[in-house]
Amino acid sequence: MRAGVIGAGSIGGVVARALRDGSVPGATLSGVVDPAGAADLPLVSLDEVLSTSDLVVEAAGQRALAEVGPQVLAAGRDLLVVSVGALADDALLDKLLCAGPGELHLSTGAIGGLDLLRAAARMAPLSRVTIETTKLAANLVQAWMSDEEAARLRTTAEPVELMRGPARDVTAAFPKSANVAASVALAVGDWDVVEAAVIADPAAELTSHVITADGPAGSYRFEIRNRPSPRTPTSSEVVPHAVLAAIAALAEPRVVFR
């Protein structure tokens, strides 16, 4: 499998280097697209990636996914999406689903349990789903916050709940931090049943996501505690490895949970 990477930042850079270095059996790096450059990676144009790849990994952000995702799928290339939060936009999701012949894949990214939530929701609608994300306070400052609010976050000595509400609203307010809320909503196939919360904790060394779900299939609680990426502390270090695991499963399906 020839895999191209769009976006060579903290996630895409790790993915591209691992592919370049041959650490994913059955997959090679076809090229990298990033206007910001990446000195040690083979930078190419989008057209070149489309003509030389079987799979394209989007790790460039929500806007880039909207801009190039439909084109990737229309060219018959499979697309592995990392910026899952962008799919809170139903129109974009519909566009991507209709854009084929390429296939759309979503990275599990920073969380797990999506398979079981999907199975439970398939058996019967879930009555309640929550995802609470707790991050180091200083990493949750957003452009829309007032100066006072941002300063309070940087100096708070206590955990502060910044937002709790429908997953779609939380995903929109914290685009870099709430991909996980979108992943849960997409896994259960219902945005309205999912409540998301974002908590700023000045002492949070690890980023945690606590996912709970209740319904006729049972009662579930997953707690994920990820180490933040040293380069981009708003993201977790495991995320590029989730992408690489997905590429490995697509390139050489051996023992794959579906």
Ligand X SMILES: NC(=O)c1ccc[n+]([C@@H]2O[C@H](COP(=O)([O-])OP(=O)(O)OC[C@H]3O[C@@H](n4cnc5c(N)ncnc54)[C@H](O)[C@@H]3O)[C@@H](O)[C@H]2O)c1
Give the annotated binding-site residues. 110, 179
- Specify whether the CB–CB gap between 163 and 198 falls below 8 A: yes
Give the span between the Cα atoms of 160 and 84, in whole angstroms. 25
Q: How many CB atoms lie within 10 A of CB 27?
A: 21
Instruction: Report the residue number, 114 or 251, with the smaller CB distance to ligand X.
Output: 114
Binding piece for ligand X, criterion CB under 6 A, among 62-70, 126-134, 163-171, 217-225 = 62-70
Give the span between the Cα atoms of 230 and 36, in whole angstroms. 20
Residues 95-114 that bind ligand X (CB under 6 A): 107, 109-110
Give the span between the Cα atoms of 80 and 77, in whole angstroms. 10
36 lies in the site for ligand X, by CB under 6 A:
yes
241 among known catalytic residues: no
Binding piece for ligand X, criterion CB under 6 A, among 21-29, 78-86, 87-95, 127-135 = 78-86
62 lies in the site for ligand X, by CB under 6 A:
yes
235 lies in the site for ligand X, by CB under 6 A:
yes
Give the span between the Cα atoms of 43 and 59, in whole angstroms. 15
Q: Which two tokens stand for residue 248?
A: 């490995």
Instruction: Report the residue number, 9 or 215, with the smaller CB distance to ligand X.
Output: 9
Which of 5, 31, 209, 243 is catalytic? The answer is 209
30 lies in the site for ligand X, by CB under 6 A:
no
Taking each continuous run of H as one helix and of E as one strand, the counts in the chain are 9, 10
Q: How far is the CB of 14 from ligand X (least distance, A)?
A: 8
3-state secondary structure (DSSP) of residue 105: strand
Q: Which residue has the tokens 């398979």?
A: 115
Give the span between the Cα atoms of 156 and 201, in whole angstroms. 8
Q: How far is the CB of 148 from ligand X (least distance, A)?
A: 26
Which residue's CB atom is positioned nearest to ligand X? 9
- Residue 60 is given by DSSP the state S
84 lies in the site for ligand X, by CB under 6 A:
yes
Give the span between the Cα atoms of 160 and 158, in whole angstroms. 6
The binder of ligand X chosen from 51, 52, 66, 67 (CB under 6 A)? 67
The binder of ligand X chosen from 134, 171, 179, 207 (CB under 6 A)? 179
Binding piece for ligand X, criterion CB under 6 A, among 82-90, 97-105, 122-130, 249-257 = 82-90
39 contact partners, CB below 8 Å, separation of at least 6? none
Residues 191-230 that bind ligand X (CB under 6 A): none
190 lies in the site for ligand X, by CB under 6 A:
no
Helix locations, 75-142, DSSP H: 90-98, 114-123
| Residues making contact with ligand X (CB under 6 A) | 6-12, 33-36, 59-62, 64, 67, 82-85, 107, 109-110, 176, 179-180, 232, 235, 239
Which residue numbers are catalytic?
209
